[in-house]
Amino acid sequence: MSFYLETYFESLSKHKEELCGDKVEIIRNDQSVIIVLADGLGSGVKANILATLTAKIIATMLAGGSDLDEAVETIASTLPVCKERAIAYSTFTILQLFSNGKGYLVEFDNPSIFRLRKGRLQPLETVTRSISGKTVKEARFELEQDDLFVMVSDGVIHAGIGGRLNLGWQWGNVAQFLQNAYKADMSSKAVTKLLLSACTSLYAQRPGDDTTVSAVRVKKPLNLSLMVGPPVYKEQDSQVVAKFLEKEGIKVVCGGTTAQIVARESGKKVVPNFDYFNPAIPPTAEIEGISLVTEGVLTIRRALELIKACTASESTMEDFLNLNNKDGASRLAKMIMDESTNIDIYVGRAMNPAHQNTELPLSLSLKLKLVEEIVHCLRSIGKQVRIEYS
């Protein structure tokens, strides 16, 4: 079975430091995703440089086909050991997850990874070996749908030390927090935000150490097909609709004219829905076999605003909660963000006959721009998006 691997990471810099001494590097290819979390010695500029070099070198070499021994040997020969403390320049965690269901983990002096399966902690069994004088822990394992992996730097398990908690948060406390907070539909970004928010609170908004969280959700690939606007040539209607309808998964139609075309070609009826959940967003409609039917530009523009809020680095939990509203734009954004991994967008470039005269070019241009912005946002978070114009 092939899996979709949803990733996200975020960091807090130590109080009064401009640069974070942790670095996460993510490299995707057709077979796998590689996530390297490196924690540089100390804090500030020096730690940031050490962590960045460590993460970049390891991720790039592994993605290029090198094995772990080569990568670690390169790190050992490239970067120095601290002469004053005689300890490693940077600790690191490497997680490589393959779309075919295999997993590989390497840990060097970072906190152990958290794996949640169906919301319960399931530690990975590791073996210890020495590479270039460094003792690392390795694990190979099988993935299951909805597995959640959370990698952290030691700033997470030190949260609150000397303040709200005498000994810091501790690994077991973090594990319990993740289990208590777990929800089956939580995205990797929501998990990351939630854990970092807890750390910020324990540090009383003044982090005593660089703090990084990187989460990965293992998902079954879920398809969403979105049809926006009618084709330029009317004779293309049947071909485009047939291609749209034959796709498995969620189906969404945006635009009144587009809905009429889909209904006509499929032999169904458009049933209006006059429930206004948000006065600023036109109501939805229904077509048998279609998951969601919405108005066009106004709905797409609001959906883009919601998607941008959720994909922005400064997004909050409230941004994700807004996806649960019942208006057409919120439902569209939620289907795109939370309920699908692979998205096919069919964009018709015909000028809307309902917008005769002056609004015609502006309306078409705006629609295309909105769709392109949505595609950019989705690709930035690793979703597979294909767009087809007609």
In this predicted model, what pLDDT tens digit does every residue of 131-154 receive, in sequence order? 877 888 999 999 999 999 999 999
Check whether 246 has a pLDDT greater than 90.
yes
Cα distance between residue 312 and residue 290, in whole Å? 30
CB-side neighbour CA atoms (13 Å) of 26: 16
Query: 290 near 253, Cβ under 8 Å?
Result: yes
What token pair was written down for 145?
Answer: 């749908």
Helices within the chain (DSSP H only): 44-63, 68-78, 154-157, 171-181, 188-202, 237-246, 256-266, 297-311, 317-321, 328-337, 359-380
Give the pLDDT mean for 13-25.
Answer: 92
Q: Which amino acid is at 232?
A: V
Same domain, 228 and 359: yes
In this predicted model, what pLDDT tens digit does every residue of 300-319 receive, in sequence order? 999 999 999 988 877 777 88
For residue 361, CA distances in Å to 234, 237, 323, 345, 370 come to 18, 21, 31, 21, 14
Query: 93 near 110, Cβ under 8 Å?
Result: yes
In this predicted model, what pLDDT tens digit does every residue of 256-291 receive, in sequence order? 999 999 999 999 999 998 887 888 899 999 999 999
Average pLDDT, the chain: 88
Same domain, 186 and 243: no
Q: Give the pLDDT confidence score for residue 358 in this predicted structure.
A: 45
Percent of the chain at pLDDT > 90 equals 56
Same domain, 187 and 271: no
- Total tally of structural domains belonging to the chain: 2
Same domain, 311 and 178: no
Same domain, 210 and 299: no
Residue 96 pairs in a beta bridge with 34, 104
Same domain, 257 and 383: yes
Among the candidates 184, 219, 254, a domain finishes at 219
Same domain, 229 and 211: no
Roughly what angle, to the nearest 10 degrees, separates helices 68-78 and 44-63? 150
Helices (H) and strands (E) in the chain, counts: 11, 18
Percent of the chain at pLDDT > 70 equals 92
Confidence tier at 65 by pLDDT (50, 70, 90) = confident
Same domain, 197 and 297: no
Check whether 332 has a pLDDT greater than 60.
yes
Same domain, 209 and 282: no
Confidence tier at 165 by pLDDT (50, 70, 90) = low
Among the candidates 219, 241, 258, a domain finishes at 219
Same domain, 291 and 378: yes
Residue 206: CATH number of its domain: 3.60.40.10
What token pair was written down for 24?
Answer: 């996460």
* Long-range CB contact pairs, 362-371, < 8 A, 24+: 363/297, 364/229, 366/297, 366/301, 367/228, 367/229, 367/296, 367/297, 367/300, 370/297, 370/300, 370/301, 370/304, 371/228, 371/300, 371/345, 371/347
Cα distance between residue 187 and residue 192, in whole Å? 9
Q: Give the pLDDT confidence score for residue 360 in this predicted structure.
A: 45
Residue 368: CATH number of its domain: 3.40.50
Identify the burial level of 307 via C-beta atoms within 10 angstroms of its C-beta, where 0-12 means exposed, 13-18 middle and 19 or more buried. buried
227: containing domain: 223-389
Give the pLDDT mean for 355-380.
Answer: 76
pTM, full prediction: 0.80
Give the pLDDT mean for 56-82.
Answer: 82
Residue 228 pairs in a beta bridge with 254, 347
- CA torsion angle 189 12 37 376 (round to 10): 40
Q: What is the CA radius of gyration of the chain?
A: 24
Longest dimension (CA), the chain: 77
Same domain, 304 and 207: no
| 384-389 and 342-347 strand pairing | parallel
Same domain, 235 and 313: yes
Q: What is the DSSP code string of 85-103?
A: T---SEEEEEEEEETTSEE
Among the candidates 219, 245, 278, a domain finishes at 219
Query: 51 near 45, Cβ under 8 Å?
Result: no
- Closest by CA position to 218, among listed 142, 112, 276, 159: 142
